[in-house]
């Protein structure tokens, strides 16, 4: 069943939980692609006092964030590192500035088209990560503001669950003083299609030689 406007009007945490197990669908001239959402992150609002300084809406209304402050059920897309497109689902009511970043999908429909777009046959790498997700689904910044209740890009529930949801801290937002600690990352428990997080240099094992810490560059569990 395709989501209607009311399905997007909850806060970002509520919407993110609902999105796990739901299906993102894109109808393009090349064909239909669809994937089950297995990882997402909620942005905006407050948690235990502090406002979410990891959210794009934190600094207020700008030309870039205009759609986030609109009514829920629209797409917010932007570039990171100047090359990767990220897709957010705007949620809540006008003026609230909340959204959900889609981080990973389990490919369901149009898999051959996804492989062609991604230039890989590895199923687990087709849409595991925000940039891979949009590439596999054929999405770019031109979809900014797209109505997610329309006939081009939409969310639907297929009622083939259950979908056990795991909650944890968001990743890759160390710049956010408070937001980096918000437990607003949601994943489908047990899914092999979630994005695998690579350890950063400062997280690798190290030893102290009396003057400085030296990373030990060897394989470590992720």
**How far, rounded to the nearest angstrom, does the alpha carbon of residue 136 sit from its chain's CA centroid?**
14
Count the helix, strand and coil residues of the chain and give each as a percent rounded to the nearest 5.
Answer: 20, 30, 45
What pLDDT was estimated at residue 197? 67
Q: Domain for residue 210, yes or no?
A: no
- Is this prediction's pTM over 0.75? yes
CATH label of the domain that carries residue 118:
3.10.300.10
Q: Domain for residue 29, yes or no?
A: yes
Sign of CA dihedral 159, 122, 33, 118: positive
User: Which residue range forms the structural domain that includes residue 178?
Assistant: 5-196
What's the average model confidence in pLDDT over 85-108? 98
Structural domains in the chain (count): 1
Q: Domain for residue 211, yes or no?
A: no
Q: What is the pLDDT of residues 162-201, one digit of tens each?
A: 899 999 999 999 999 999 999 999 999 999 999 876 644 4
Q: Domain for residue 206, yes or no?
A: no
What pLDDT was estimated at residue 198? 60
- Specify which residues 186 forms β-bridges with: 40, 167
Q: Domain for residue 73, yes or no?
A: yes
Q: Domain for residue 37, yes or no?
A: yes
Q: Domain for residue 205, yes or no?
A: no
Q: In the chain, what percentage of residues exceed pLDDT 90?
A: 82
pLDDT of 111 > 70? The answer is yes
Q: What is the pLDDT of residues 5-52, one digit of tens each?
A: 999 999 999 999 999 999 999 999 999 999 999 999 999 998 888 999
| Closest to 97 measured CA to CA, from 137, 128, 64 | 64
Q: Domain for residue 66, yes or no?
A: yes
């Amino acid at each position: 069943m395709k989501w209607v406007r009311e399905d997007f009007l909850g806060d970002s945490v509520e919407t993110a939980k609902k999105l796990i197990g739901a299906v993102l669908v894109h109808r393009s001239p090349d064909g239909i692609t669809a994937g089950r959402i297995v990882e997402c992150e909620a942005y905006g609002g407050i948690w235990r006092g502090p406002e979410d300084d990891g959210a794009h809406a934190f600094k207020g209304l700008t030309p870039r964030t205009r759609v986030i402050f609109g009514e829920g059920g629209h797409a917010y897309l932007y570039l990171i590192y100047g090359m990767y497109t990220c897709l957010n689902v705007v949620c809540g009511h006008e003026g609230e500035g909340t959204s959900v970043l889609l981080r990973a999908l389990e490919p369901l429909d149009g898999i051959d088209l996804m492989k062609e777009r991604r230039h890989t046959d590895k199923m687990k790498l087709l849409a595991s990560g925000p940039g891979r997700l949009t590439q596999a689904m054929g999405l770019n910044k031109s979809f900014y503001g797209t109505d997610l209740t329309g006939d081009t890009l939409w969310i639907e529930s297929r009622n083939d669950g259950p979908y056990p949801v795991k909650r944890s801290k968001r990743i890759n937002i160390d710049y956010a003083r408070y937001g980096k600690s918000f437990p607003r990352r949601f994943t489908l428990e047990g899914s092999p299609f979630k994005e695998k997080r690579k350890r950063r240099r400062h997280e690798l094992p190290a030893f102290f030689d009396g003057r400085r810490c030296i990373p030990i560059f060897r394989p470590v569990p992720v």
